[in-house]
Amino acid sequence: MTTRMHGHWDLKGFFVFSTSFLAIHLLAPTILAGLACTFFLALVGAGTAFGQSQPQGLAPSVTTPKSDTAGPGFGQNAPRGIRAGHILVRFKDSPGQDTLNQLHADYGANVVGTIPEVRVTHLQVAGSGLALLDHLRKRPDVAFAEFDSIVQVLQNAYNPPNDVYFSSTYGSSHYGSIDQWGPPTVSAPAAWQYVSGGSSSIVIAIVDTGVDDTHPDLAPKIVGEYSYVGSIKDGFGHGTHVAGIAAAATDNHIGIAGMCPNCGILSVKVLNDQGSGYISDVASGIVYAASHGARVISLSLGGSGRTETLHSALDYALANNALPVCAMGNSGSSLNTPEPAYWHDCLSVIATDRTGAKASFSNYGIKADIAAPGVAILSTMPTYPVTLTSTYGYSMNYDALSGTSMATPMVSGIAGLVLSQNPNLTPTQVAGIIEASSGDGVSWAPNLAFGVVDASKAVLSATNSDSAPPGTNLISPTEAATVSGLVTFQAAPTDDTVVHHVDFVQNGTRFMQVLTGASSTSGSGKKAVTLAAWTGSWPSTTVFNGLITLSLFAVDVFGNASAAQSLDLTVQNKLVTQSGTAYVCWPSSSTCENVTPWFPVTTGVATEAAPHLHGTVSYGGLNNTKYADFWLQVLSYNADGSGQEYFCGTDQTTVDCYPPLLLEPDGSKTLSNYSGGQIDLISPNKNPASGNATINWTLTYPQ
């Protein structure tokens, strides 16, 4: 690792070696893949989902079957997106050396890193690591264990300031002549008047590919630099672009204006020169930023995992007075929210175009909070050749990029302005103020969430004296109710000012659309459904039958949140089951593959449904085999042709899992959902393993 600090920043005592792989796609759009625990989620992108600035080399890696007989998309190795043999584990108590020695003796596990602030240990073993993972997940002294997973960049008194490209055009490499249209769109110039361009005591961390510390629009702003992936230098270009949007030097007669002109920049490099890295490094970078004075952490990156390691790092940031601002992703989907934006700890950002509409590439949906400009955003680029300039044809010094990666630092800069106006605000209050000052200030919609941000309104709301939390007052459903089908939620929240919304969270992520004080209509014509204020509906088939526990809380217009109210519900819907069986071989050949065909779900899916996969494998004729890994998977297509795959694996003979994706309703003439399986044999030496197996499985879902 490399470290360089400026001014008062002190790095003593913080050194973490970790190797989880994380990648950031700077350009719109991006599709990410990752594996959480013994499970793996892969996103399948429709061909029309990509913005015009998508680099050719950053095309989605997940392929979809051409028919229901095509093989699953993970070939003769472990599924894409996991770092084979790398396990992140949190023990309930600090593990003794005898525990670690026994893991080494039994599984060959070595400790290769730790994230002590969130009590995560990074273990490495030979092979896929499924045997170790299964063992750890069964131990009573383990809080969680999961694979490391991939993350990628998500790049798809000033009146006005005198920066050259703020009001005059610049000849960009991919978008023609453009000006810096983003800040005026979100009322940044008015906000700068109120708060004199922000405060240098407010630091925004750019957790990314590094920042060019020689750039004339950035050099005077950088208060510290740290790297988890070699040189501090930005070799890709994404982090430099993001940093400029958030806080470039402003009113200095050159270049562009940053959203928070006076805020400091802390560069934490967690992605390599190809825009990729590991979850363990990203989590470490978040912890580092929060531990070293950052009040805002800008995260223009994402991965398909659902890792407790990253969730814990975000929790740590909030507990240490830092607000994570996260990109929603660029696959044009309402379902495929990458982490960290997946987690409720984040203020999650949709990208918009010049008209104020959702950018075609931007993800959207219930995990989103607000929207900000993200198409053809002009900002700083490294002053030397990097991957984006040398490989993808972007310009040095300044250029325009598109993506939720660009919308995110715009919101990070606004958060910096709000904190400059009132540094005593908590991260939750800052997020609530930005949400309540966005859009019309009342409603929420899937395409834009609470709406496009307004820096001026947010800064004006920062000086309020109200700190009293509102009351939730949920009317229905009642505690311990049994529900099925479409469930109506209704509340009557109270406050001494104005309640902005009521939120529902389960397992750290938003559970359903928020309730607001505005009525809403979905559908059209005879299918139109209108819901009254503070009323929402939830399809209960989106969770599997059983007991669920929700946390709900009200948030007022000044970001004050009520204490979480717990709600227990029992979900009981009719279950539908389909079975499959297949014979597979290792190594794979044209006559007997190691993967099954895709089996279409012919039992019918009428409403979105949560799946349950259960299956067994019977091996025959295993030769020279040290590990035998067994995987089941489910694939579901969205109406737009995009989709998502989920993999469940074990080194034992039984898989039993509940994939965190939804089966999508079948089309009028097409089937949308598929399931299948695969084996992977690993030899103990250089000679190949061989064998065969019969896989039997069932896919069960509620309707």
Q: What is the pLDDT of residues 315-355, one digit of tens each?
A: 999 999 999 999 999 989 888 799 999 999 999 999 999 99
Q: What is the arithmetic mean of pLDDT over 554-558?
A: 97
What is the predicted pLDDT for the residue at 524? 66
Q: pLDDT band at residue 49, thresholds of 50, 70 and 90?
A: very low
Domain 575-702 grouped into CATH 2.60.120:
yes
Q: Is the dihedral of CA 394, 395, 401, 405 positive or negative?
A: positive
Q: What angle do CA 67, 73, 77 make, to 5 degrees?
A: 145
Coil/strand/helix, residue 27: coil
Q: Which residues are annotated as catalytic?
A: 208, 238, 405
Cα separations in angstroms, 48 against 44, 185, 529, 691 = 12, 27, 29, 41
Of 402, 426, 404, 460, the closest CA to residue 322 belongs to 426
pLDDT of residue 640 exceeding 60: yes
pLDDT per position as a tens digit, 534-549: 999 999 999 999 999 9
Q: What is the arithmetic mean of pLDDT over 46-71?
A: 29
What is the predicted pLDDT for the residue at 80? 63
Q: What is the arithmetic mean of pLDDT over 229-247?
A: 97
What is the predicted pLDDT for the residue at 38? 45
Q: Is the peptide bond before 493 cis (omega within 30 degrees of 0)?
A: no
Non-local (6+) Cβ contacts of 433 within 8 A are: 418, 425, 458, 461, 462, 557, 558, 559
Task: With residue 204 as reference, give the H or E element that holds it.
Answer: strand 203-208
Token pair listed for 501: 């919304």
- Which value, to the nearest 10 degrees, does the dihedral of the CA atoms of residues 327, 330, 335, 341 take? -10
What is the predicted pLDDT for the residue at 150? 81
What is the predicted pLDDT for the residue at 77? 53
pLDDT of residue 469 exceeding 80: yes
Domain 164-461 grouped into CATH 3.40.50.970:
no
Integer Cα distance of 235 and 274 in angstroms: 8
What is the predicted pLDDT for the residue at 260? 98
CB 313 within 8 A of CB 118: yes
Coil/strand/helix, residue 655: strand
Integer Cα distance of 243 and 214 in angstroms: 13
Q: What is the arithmetic mean of pLDDT over 278-292?
A: 97
CB atoms within 10 A of CB 686: 5
Side chain identity, residue 660: P
Of 382, 381, 371, 380, the closest CA to residue 404 belongs to 371
Q: pLDDT band at residue 34, thresholds of 50, 70 and 90?
A: very low
Selected residue with higher pLDDT from 656 and 75: 656
CB atoms within 10 A of CB 616: 17
Report DSSP state, residue 487: E
Report DSSP state, residue 200: T
Average pLDDT score, the chain = 87
Of 97, 121, 102, the closest CA to residue 17 belongs to 121
Q: What are phi and psi of 666, to 5 degrees?
A: -65, 150
Topology of domain 474-571, per CATH? Immunoglobulin-like (2.60.40)
Q: pLDDT band at residue 167, thresholds of 50, 70 and 90?
A: confident
What is the predicted pLDDT for the residue at 165? 86
Side chain identity, residue 673: N
pLDDT of residue 35 exceeding 60: no
What is the predicted pLDDT for the residue at 304? 84
Domain extent listing, the chain: 164-461, 474-571, 575-702
Integer Cα distance of 305 and 566 in angstroms: 26
Q: Is the peptide bond before 160 cis (omega within 30 degrees of 0)?
A: yes
Cα separations in angstroms, 390 against 48, 59, 176, 236, 695 = 26, 17, 19, 9, 48
Q: How many CA atoms lie within 13 A of 654 on its CB side?
A: 2
pLDDT per position as a tens digit, 420-459: 999 999 999 999 999 999 999 999 999 999 999 999 999 9
Integer Cα distance of 640 and 241 in angstroms: 31
Q: pLDDT band at residue 50, thresholds of 50, 70 and 90?
A: very low
DSSP string, 306-353: --HHHHHHHHHHHHTT-EEEEE--SS--SS-PPBTTTSTTSEEEEEE-
Of 16, 202, 227, the closest CA to residue 121 belongs to 16
Q: What is the arithmetic mean of pLDDT over 476-490?
A: 97
Question: Is 487 buried (19+), middle (13-18) or exposed (0-12) by CB count in 10 A?
Answer: middle
Question: Is 4 buried (19+), middle (13-18) or exposed (0-12) by CB count in 10 A?
Answer: middle
pLDDT of residue 559 exceeding 50: yes
pLDDT per position as a tens digit, 344-375: 999 999 999 999 999 999 999 999 999 999 99
Token pair listed for 18: 């970790």
pLDDT of residue 568 exceeding 90: yes
Integer Cα distance of 316 and 120 in angstroms: 13
Burial 76-97 (b: 16+ CB within 10 A, else e): eebbbbbbbbbbbbbbeeebee
Token pair listed for 414: 């606004």
Q: pLDDT band at residue 36, thresholds of 50, 70 and 90?
A: very low
Q: What are phi and psi of 582, to 5 degrees?
A: -160, 150
What is the predicted pLDDT for the residue at 115? 95
pLDDT of residue 60 exceeding 50: no
- Which value, to the nearest 10 degrees, does the dihedral of the CA atoms of residues 367, 369, 370, 371 take? -10
Beta strands 176-178; 170-172: pairing state? antiparallel
Find where tokens 């997106």 sit.
Answer: 81
What is the predicted pLDDT for the residue at 7? 32
Integer Cα distance of 101 and 184 in angstroms: 59
Integer Cα distance of 491 and 483 in angstroms: 17
What is the predicted pLDDT for the residue at 305? 85
What is the predicted pLDDT for the residue at 78? 57
Integer Cα distance of 46 and 640 in angstroms: 7
What is the predicted pLDDT for the residue at 520? 77
Instruction: Lowest mean pLDDT of 207-216, 516-525, 586-595, name the range.
Output: 516-525
What is the predicted pLDDT for the residue at 66? 31
Coil/strand/helix, residue 467: coil
Question: Is 150 buried (19+), middle (13-18) or exposed (0-12) by CB count in 10 A?
Answer: buried
Strand partners, 571: 483, 546
pLDDT of residue 121 exceeding 50: yes
Integer Cα distance of 596 and 699 in angstroms: 15
